[in-house]
A = this chain, B = another copy of it.
Amino acid sequence: MARAATTADTFNAVAEPRRREILDALAQGERPVNELVTLLGLAQPHVSRHLRVLREVGAVVVRDEGRQRLYRLNPQALKPIHDWVASYQHLWEERFDLLEDVLEDLKEEH
Protein backbone atom coordinates (compact mmCIF):
# COMPACT_ATOMS: atom_id res chain seq x y z
CA MET A 1 0.00 0.00 0.00
CA ALA A 2 1.25 3.45 -0.84
CA ARG A 3 0.66 6.67 0.99
CA ALA A 4 -2.96 7.68 1.38
CA ALA A 5 -4.41 9.71 -1.46
CA THR A 6 -4.20 13.45 -1.08
CA THR A 7 -7.93 13.39 -1.54
CA ALA A 8 -8.35 11.00 1.38
CA ASP A 9 -9.05 13.82 3.80
CA THR A 10 -8.27 17.44 4.55
CA PHE A 11 -5.13 16.52 6.46
CA ASN A 12 -3.60 15.01 3.34
CA ALA A 13 -4.89 17.69 1.03
CA VAL A 14 -3.43 20.43 3.16
CA ALA A 15 -0.07 18.76 3.62
CA GLU A 16 0.94 20.23 0.27
CA PRO A 17 2.30 23.79 0.65
CA ARG A 18 0.93 24.98 -2.67
CA ARG A 19 -2.53 23.96 -1.67
CA ARG A 20 -2.20 25.88 1.54
CA GLU A 21 -1.14 28.86 -0.52
CA ILE A 22 -4.26 28.47 -2.60
CA LEU A 23 -6.44 28.37 0.47
CA ASP A 24 -4.65 31.39 1.86
CA ALA A 25 -5.34 33.26 -1.36
CA LEU A 26 -8.98 32.24 -1.33
CA ALA A 27 -9.34 33.42 2.22
CA GLN A 28 -9.33 36.91 0.73
CA GLY A 29 -12.30 36.04 -1.43
CA GLU A 30 -13.47 34.25 -4.54
CA ARG A 31 -10.95 33.99 -7.38
CA PRO A 32 -10.78 32.64 -10.94
CA VAL A 33 -8.15 30.03 -11.75
CA ASN A 34 -6.08 32.43 -13.76
CA GLU A 35 -5.62 34.71 -10.82
CA LEU A 36 -4.37 31.82 -8.72
CA VAL A 37 -1.99 30.87 -11.49
CA THR A 38 -0.49 34.35 -11.39
CA LEU A 39 -0.43 34.48 -7.61
CA LEU A 40 1.27 31.12 -7.19
CA GLY A 41 3.52 31.29 -10.20
CA LEU A 42 2.58 27.74 -11.13
CA ALA A 43 1.54 26.29 -14.47
CA GLN A 44 -2.20 26.43 -15.02
CA PRO A 45 -2.68 22.65 -15.19
CA HIS A 46 -1.02 22.30 -11.82
CA VAL A 47 -3.23 24.84 -10.23
CA SER A 48 -6.26 23.13 -11.72
CA ARG A 49 -5.20 19.84 -10.26
CA HIS A 50 -4.50 21.28 -6.85
CA LEU A 51 -7.92 22.84 -7.00
CA ARG A 52 -9.40 19.51 -7.86
CA VAL A 53 -7.88 17.92 -4.79
CA LEU A 54 -9.16 20.74 -2.65
CA ARG A 55 -12.58 20.35 -4.22
CA GLU A 56 -12.66 16.64 -3.53
CA VAL A 57 -12.06 17.14 0.15
CA GLY A 58 -14.57 19.96 0.23
CA ALA A 59 -12.11 22.71 1.04
CA VAL A 60 -13.20 24.81 -1.91
CA VAL A 61 -16.31 25.21 -4.06
CA VAL A 62 -16.60 26.29 -7.66
CA ARG A 63 -19.03 28.51 -9.44
CA ASP A 64 -19.26 29.01 -13.20
CA GLU A 65 -19.15 32.58 -14.39
CA GLY A 66 -19.01 32.79 -18.17
CA ARG A 67 -15.87 31.08 -19.25
CA GLN A 68 -14.28 31.53 -15.89
CA ARG A 69 -14.54 29.27 -12.89
CA LEU A 70 -14.62 31.09 -9.61
CA TYR A 71 -13.26 29.23 -6.63
CA ARG A 72 -14.37 29.98 -3.13
CA LEU A 73 -13.04 28.79 0.20
CA ASN A 74 -15.11 26.48 2.38
CA PRO A 75 -13.52 27.07 5.77
CA GLN A 76 -15.66 24.45 7.53
CA ALA A 77 -13.50 21.79 5.92
CA LEU A 78 -10.59 22.90 8.07
CA LYS A 79 -12.44 22.49 11.32
CA PRO A 80 -11.44 18.82 11.86
CA ILE A 81 -7.81 19.83 11.69
CA HIS A 82 -8.38 22.63 14.09
CA ASP A 83 -10.23 20.39 16.49
CA TRP A 84 -7.43 17.87 16.43
CA VAL A 85 -4.56 20.26 17.10
CA ALA A 86 -6.60 22.26 19.54
CA SER A 87 -6.68 19.25 21.84
CA TYR A 88 -2.91 19.59 22.12
CA GLN A 89 -2.84 23.30 22.67
CA HIS A 90 -2.93 23.10 26.45
CA LEU A 91 0.15 20.88 26.30
CA TRP A 92 2.40 23.40 24.66
CA GLU A 93 0.96 26.13 26.81
CA GLU A 94 1.48 24.08 29.93
CA ARG A 95 4.54 26.01 30.89
CA PHE A 96 2.50 29.11 31.41
CA ASP A 97 0.02 27.15 33.46
CA LEU A 98 2.83 25.80 35.57
CA LEU A 99 4.22 29.28 35.97
CA GLU A 100 0.85 30.46 37.15
CA ASP A 101 0.69 27.66 39.67
CA VAL A 102 4.08 28.56 41.00
CA LEU A 103 3.10 32.19 41.34
CA GLU A 104 -0.06 31.13 43.09
CA ASP A 105 1.91 29.02 45.53
CA LEU A 106 4.27 31.87 46.25
CA LYS A 107 1.38 34.14 47.04
CA GLU A 108 -0.14 31.66 49.42
CA GLU A 109 3.11 31.30 51.26
CA HIS A 110 2.97 34.95 52.20
Q: Which residues of A contact B (CB under 8 A)?
A: 3-4, 6, 11-12, 14-17, 20, 23, 27, 73, 75-76, 78-79, 81-82, 84-89, 91-92, 94
Distance between Cα atoms of A91 and B15 in the complex (Å): 20
Q: Of B14, B73, B86, which is within 8 A of A91 by CB?
A: B73
Specify the main secondary structure of chain A where it touches its partner: helix
Number of copies: 2
Are A78's CB and B88's CB within 8 A?
Answer: yes
Q: Of B16, B85, B92, B94, which is within 8 A of A85 by CB?
A: B85
Residue of B nearest to A90 (CB): B75
Are B85's CB and A81's CB within 8 A?
Answer: yes
| Complex interface: chain B residues within 8 A of A4 (CB) | 15-17
Q: Of B27, B84, B92, which is within 8 A of A20 by CB?
A: B84
| Complex interface: chain B residues within 8 A of A14 (CB) | 11, 15
Are B82's CB and A78's CB within 8 A?
Answer: no
| Complex interface: chain B residues within 8 A of A78 (CB) | 85, 88, 92
| Complex interface: chain B residues within 8 A of A82 (CB) | 82, 85-86, 88-89
